[in-house]
A and B are shown apart, each in its own frame.
Chain A
Amino acid sequence: EVPLVESGGGLVQPGRSLRLSCTLSGFTFGDFPLTWVRQAPGKGLEWVGFIRSKAYGGTTEYAASVNGRFSISRDDSKSIAYLQMNSLKTEDTAMYYCARDLGRLDYWGPGTLVTVSS
């Protein structure tokens, strides 16, 4: 069983918004930080951002490429983390993964594909 599953991807026009979800099961969601990583078609891995556990304030960090456009939040009662993506650009087209973040990323979801195109 895959403990993390992403959802919410799809085709969206440039300038629009999309919200991705990352659902966890099998371990105590609230105890762990989570990271989002993306991979453009045929390219390498790019770290997008991170949210700390509530015990550490639930604060966030973002890559410069998405800072100010993307935001990460979490609802520990539902074991879900969100990646809110605003002002989307064609270069945001990628497979988006969430991962449990122990520094190393030990559990990954299968990913959800976001395509930004007119």
Chain B
Amino acid sequence: IQMTQSPSTLSAYVGDRVTITCRASQSISSWLAWYQQKPGKAPKLLIYKASNLESGVPSRFSGSGSGTEFTLTISSLQPDDFAAYYCQRYNNYPYTFGQGTKLEIK
């Protein structure tokens, strides 16, 4: 199952609302996670089971979707949010990640 993430790069201002999309080549139910990765650091889990916020993650992050189409939304961008974001399906093995979205400051 392939995961297609878009856009690959996104430029936005602090305070903007942004959405990243992840599409699966076949249904994965809600078995999808989102990660944030900053340069030189390990990924950090943000969202699991498509829409569940990981403990400690700010509420401006939200996830939605099921089946084959999923979105990660950041409601009001903060300076700390400029990073790379990845989706990951985990309905079965092998797990696959989206190719990533680099969120840049405009």
Q: Beyond A35-B95, A103-B48, is A44–B86 a contact (Cβ under 8 Å)? A: yes
Chain A residues within 8 Å of chain B by Cβ, number: 21
Interface string of B31-53 (1 = CB under 8 A from A): 10101010001111100110000
CA distance A30 to B42 in the complex (A): 23
**B contact patch SS:** loop
Verify A111–B88 contact, CB threshold 8 A.
no
Which residues from 32 to 77 on chain B have a C-beta closer than 8 Å to any C-beta of chain A? 33, 35, 37, 41-45, 48-49, 54
Chain B CB within 10 Å — which of A37, A46, A105 has the most? A105
Interface size class of B (residues with CB under 8 A): 20 to 34
B-side contacts of A64, CB under 8 Å: 94
Residues of chain B touching chain A, judged by Cβ–Cβ distance below 8 Å, are 31, 33, 35, 37, 41-45, 48-49, 54, 86, 88, 90, 93-100
Given contacts A45-B88, A47-B95, A110-B41, 5 further A-B contacts (CB under 8 A): A45-B86, A45-B97, A97-B42, A103-B90, A110-B42
